[in-house]
Structure 1
Amino acid sequence: MQTHGVATCVGIAWAVLLAVPIVSCSPASLSDNSTRTPAKGIDVGKLARFLSPTAKILFPGSTDFTAYTARWSNLEPPTPSIVVVAGIEKDVSKTVKFAFDYNIPILAYNGHHGTHTTLGKMDYGIEIYLPQLNTITIAKDMTSVTVGGGVNVKTLIDTLWEAGKQAVTGWCECVSFLGPALGGGHGWLQGHHGLISDQFLSMNVVLANGDLKTIDAHSDMWWGMRGAGHNLGIVTSVTTKIYDIVSPNWAIETIIFSGDKLKAVYEAANKDLLQNGTQSSDIHNWSYWQNDASLDPNNPVIIMFVVQEGVDVVDPRYTTPFHDIGPLMITPQSGTYKDLAAWTGIAKESPPCQDFGLNNPRFPIYLNEYNTTAMQKAWDIYAPAISGENNPYSLSIFMWEDYATAGVRARGVKSTAFAFRQDLILAAPLIIYAPNKARDLAVEQLGNKLRELVQEGTGRGSELHAYVNYAYGTEGPEAWYGYEPWRQNRLRTLKKKYDPKGKFSFYGPIA
């Protein structure tokens, strides 16, 4: 998801929402009745006059307002007062300018998967809803595509596929294309080409004062937007590289193990997949620790995905070591790149893409290898914490994502604000539970404890490497954007220049 935010304004007397029976109105009708404001301090009529005929302003209590403010995770969600549905890029610019002039918090929204607890600091203000900015324009030379700020992953993949093209995108179909990219952005093709943001050629960005600016590699802002972009502006469109489909066929083996095989499974993954950082660019390995009562009613199981590009059957040299361990189940499948999301449970129809009203905090950490001693310690706490009849955390998943990384590591470590190019694995416990204030602290403690145990195996001491797009929200700027003083200084300099009032500071704030 792409979420941009603003710092909560100190000293503002937060308004109480008025119970007005308004569903949704066009800007024209609102401009005729400027007194119909859903929150004190926001002159909706004046705002409406700035917007295009295709824009809409939504009020609390309407069906669309409820739909457009829904979150995938309900732990510390933002609570905007109104929603502006942008019809064109200038609607975003005009809304931000209005909010800047009247000192109103803003948060851009083109997905709903961000889980930072800092989002909850937005308890008043304007949400800018981007999904109507859904244009996809392939360049005549077929080397790039310009993508609107509201386009999601599946739409972009499908559109490019019909043209015989691909782009580096995120892997979850329901997530926006741009949101993950502003934090770096992982994807199935990164082993060849690098991160999502590494592909960018130019972008249209709305600055904190409302200016709409086109930037590229000649801008000092360019470096920061690719890794810490949520802090610097709202991207309304981007032009990014695209590639010919070289290998339409892909294959997967889903191999499931009981928990007692943990050390053997991940020792095999280190040796036969990671290969000391020399993993092939056509191989990806994910695994989940989650409950499956049909296979083990008392403990979670280990679900291992071995994914290979350009084949109809995963090469046995990658799978045989796992077969030899003694899995509970083996399921091979073959198809195309477009099948990957369904195979790994992240298609638009899959449970993770649905809004069930649950809390879904994650506690990410980057690794360079599987330390099976540390992982066993984490398992010994995780397994009993989520298992058992009527366990409130029974839907939880411990994710271990091993993408091919050669294309990511080939870029210079100083090339963008994304700091952790040399790391090989992204892990994260995802603790899923029904909203319950009494459990929030316990979940935070559990997630942090699991991450701390895994951290012990990295040899980094207290230096946590955390993917900003998965973050819980308390990790801090160094864990999200790198510990080197020059990195933090460069980010702070950009923040001071482009957002001195901290308007974009709800999501992974730099300071």
Structure 2
Amino acid sequence: MRWLSVNFLLSALYMMSANLDSAVNGSVPEEHAKVLRDILSPAAKVYYPNSTEFNTLSARWSTLAEPNVNVVAVPSTEDDVAKIVQFAKKANLPILAFNGAHAAITTLGRMQGGIEIYMGQLSSVAIAQDDKTITVGGGTSSKAVTDALWNAGKQTVTGTCECVSVLGPALGGGHGWLQGHYGLVADQFVSMNVVLADGTLQTIDENSDLWWAMKGAGQNFGIVTSLTSKIYDIEQYDWAIETLIFDGDKVEAVYQAANDHLSPVPVNLINWSYWLNIPGADPDKPVVLFYIIQEGATTVNPAYTKPFHDIGPISIEAESGDYRDLARWTQVALDSTPCQKTGLANPRFPAYLKEYNIPAQKLAYDAFAAEVSGDSPFSTSIFMFEAYPVQGVQAIDSDSAAFAFRSDNILTAPLITYTPSSNELDQQAAELGNKLRNIVHKGSGSEELHAYVNYAFGDESPQNWYGYEQWRQDRLKALKKKYDPEGRFSFFAPVE
């Protein structure tokens, strides 16, 4: 009887074709949202525009090229997700899963009218009895996983920002603090439950042909409702950081020292840096904020820090703590500014590097400083440089996953932050971001632009996101044709 009830409701909605046309181009009639609510579990929720809940749950971290949704559905069970996808398929409505904070790719703006599936209620953490794996709900945050594992003496690779979900970065590969030991977030996958484009909920693992694609291009193939991943004993409880601030005139010296002394990054070390305006340090131009983070220490080894001390930083600050402090130290904790949704546009323009090209760093800094200093509308922008240890990433066969850029060492990305006000300003931001990216990419000497898909702007190609090898592109397209021939999951960095 339940099956008959669900299908009757789906069929009834499908028959309302005139109203469905308006749903795609305008608002979904509220009575149809009620139909959707009736087929879901008791704890599921459906919100309609102009409600506080709708506005909160549909808000984006970046307001540039936002998806336009008419209904927010909040599943409380994995089966709810399948029913929402079935409902949308029958009604010919677009769907988009929302999960966390930081997706800013402009291809999401192609979602015009339809159903947002907000994954927040699917948050759970369960450690297996053998202490070798963890199973998390599809809406679980990285912080929730880190805290639960830490309390059990365990750890795993998650994204660095506390406000992102585990699955968000993982499906694009996923960089993390512990990748030097264990590989990317996607390299930890053991199995997953995923709702496919046909609305079926399936469990897949390494025996599925789809497994390869989910590890790097997963947003194109379904909605992951739960994930089982590898976990590990905590080996080192102590962590230390040294934060150095340099005048912009020291850019060449700083990155030459990084090449000479932190390349490749040792397995127990992480090096991040930001270019940004800090008026208290330099009122006229951006500074270089430089982090050296060491695992298994209460003070960062002077062998790593002395070359940078010798350059002459404006300030040096040392702290010690444990793994749970890393996000706060690097300003990506839940209460940090980059984790807030404040109506800003936040496009990024990523490019991977093997090492720093010092003349290119200088050119990029000068171009950045010229555009973000003073009363520029882009004055709160930053240029990010993330150098993680890569031993664990590069120990894994590159052909084993859709993530294609294991041989790269440094992730760079200008983040052009501004208050959107016009198409002209949007265009200026895009031109600036691409100009900065092109400078560092040209300095790499590579003809191929390798762009981390989770940071992508949206004007890149599938080759930039998923690799230039023809076999990779062919394999992704073949899997897309098999599992999502109608392109239901094609709003985030589509494979074709």
Q: How high is the TM-score relative to the length of structure 2?
A: 0.94
Which residue of 341, 348, 355 corresponds with 2:327?
Answer: 341
Which residue of 288, 291, 294 corresponds with 1:302?
Answer: 288
What does the per-residue CA deviation read over 1:207-230, in whole Å, with 9 as the maximum and x for residues that have no partner? 001000000000000000000000
1:126 aligns with 2:115: yes
What does the per-residue CA deviation read over 1:415-444, in whole Å, with 9 as the maximum and x for residues that have no partner? 100000010000000000001223000110
1:105 aligns with 2:94: yes
Structure 1 residue 40: Cα displacement: 4.6
Structure 1 residue 391: Cα displacement: 2.0
Q: Is the 8 A contact 1:116 1:473 kept in 2?
A: yes
Structure 1 residue 98: Cα displacement: 1.0
**Which residue type is aligned with residue 408 of structure 2?**
D
Supply the distance in 1 between the matched residues of 2:100 and 2:331 (Cα, whole angstroms).
18
**Which residue type is aligned with residue 318 of structure 2?**
P
What does the per-residue CA deviation read over 1:139-178, in whole Å, with 9 as the maximum and x for residues that have no partner? 0011100000010011111111111111110110011111
Q: Which residue of 2 aligns with 1:330?
A: 316
Which residue of 96, 104, 127 corresponds with 1:138?
Answer: 127
Structure 1 residue 282: Cα displacement: 0.2
Structure 1 residue 123: Cα displacement: 1.4
Which residue of 23, 39, 50 corresponds with 2:28?
Answer: 39
What does the per-residue CA deviation read over 1:309-332, in whole Å, with 9 as the maximum and x for residues that have no partner? 000000000000000001100001
Q: Which residue of 1 aligns with 2:259?
A: 270
Q: Which residue of 2 aligns with 1:380?
A: 366
Which residue of 431, 454, 469 corresponds with 2:454?
Answer: 469
**Which residue type is aligned with residue 265 of structure 1?**
V
Q: Which residue of 2 aligns with 1:482?
A: 467
Q: Which residue of 2 aligns with 1:450?
A: 436
Supply the distance in 1 between the matched residues of 2:218 and 2:459 (Cα, whole angstroms).
18
1:286 aligns with 2:272: yes
Counterparts in 2 of 1:249 and 1:15: CA distance versus 1, 3 Å: same
**Which residue type is aligned with residue 140 of structure 2?**
V
Supply the distance in 1 between the matched residues of 2:340 and 2:240 (Cα, whole angstroms).
26
Q: Which residue of 2 aligns with 1:433?
A: 418
Q: Is the 8 A contact 2:63 2:344 kept in 1?
A: yes
Which residue of 138, 145, 153 corresponds with 1:164?
Answer: 153
Q: Secondary structure at the match of 1:180?
A: helix
What does the per-residue CA deviation read over 1:270-309, in whole Å, with 9 as the maximum and x for residues that have no partner? 11001xx3x3110110000000111111100001000000
1:117 aligns with 2:106: yes
Q: Secondary structure at the match of 1:298?
A: coil
1:239 aligns with 2:228: yes
Q: Secondary structure at the match of 1:414?
A: helix
Supply the distance in 1 between the matched residues of 2:114 and 2:90 (Cα, whole angstroms).
13
Q: Is the 8 A contact 1:202 1:238 kept in 2?
A: yes
What does the per-residue CA deviation read over 1:357-389, in whole Å, with 9 as the maximum and x for residues that have no partner? 10000000000001011111111111010001x
Q: Specify every segment of 5 or more residues in structure 2 that has no aligned partner in the other structure, as ranges.
A: 1-19
Q: Is the 8 A contact 2:191 2:203 kept in 1?
A: yes
Supply the distance in 2 between the matched residues of 1:280 and 1:14 (Cα, whole angstroms).
57
Q: Which residue of 1 aligns with 2:345?
A: 359
Structure 1 residue 17: Cα displacement: 8.5
Q: Which residue of 2 aligns with 1:499?
A: 484
Structure 1 residue 43: Cα displacement: 2.7
What does the per-residue CA deviation read over 1:317-355, in whole Å, with 9 as the maximum and x for residues that have no partner? 000000000110000110000000000000001000111
Q: Is the 8 A contact 2:345 2:420 kept in 1?
A: yes
**Which residue type is aligned with residue 178 of structure 1?**
L
Q: Which residue of 1 aligns with 2:174?
A: 185
Supply the distance in 2 between the matched residues of 1:76 and 1:451 (Cα, whole angstroms).
20
Please state which structure has a larger fraction of its residues in helix: 2
Q: Which residue of 2 aligns with 1:89?
A: 78
Q: Which residue of 2 aligns with 1:7?
A: none
Q: Which residue of 1 aligns with 2:389?
A: 404
Q: Is the 8 A contact 1:15 1:41 kept in 2?
A: no
Q: Is the 8 A contact 2:33 2:48 kept in 1?
A: no
1:229 aligns with 2:218: yes
Q: Is the 8 A contact 2:191 2:227 kept in 1?
A: yes
Q: Secondary structure at the match of 2:239?
A: strand
Q: Specify every segment of 5 or more residues in structure 1 that has no aligned partner in the other structure, as ranges.
A: 1-11, 19-37
Q: Secondary structure at the match of 1:400?
A: strand
**Which residue type is aligned with residue 331 of structure 2?**
G
Structure 1 residue 101: Cα displacement: 1.5
Once superposed, what is the RMSD of the aligned Cα atoms? 1.3
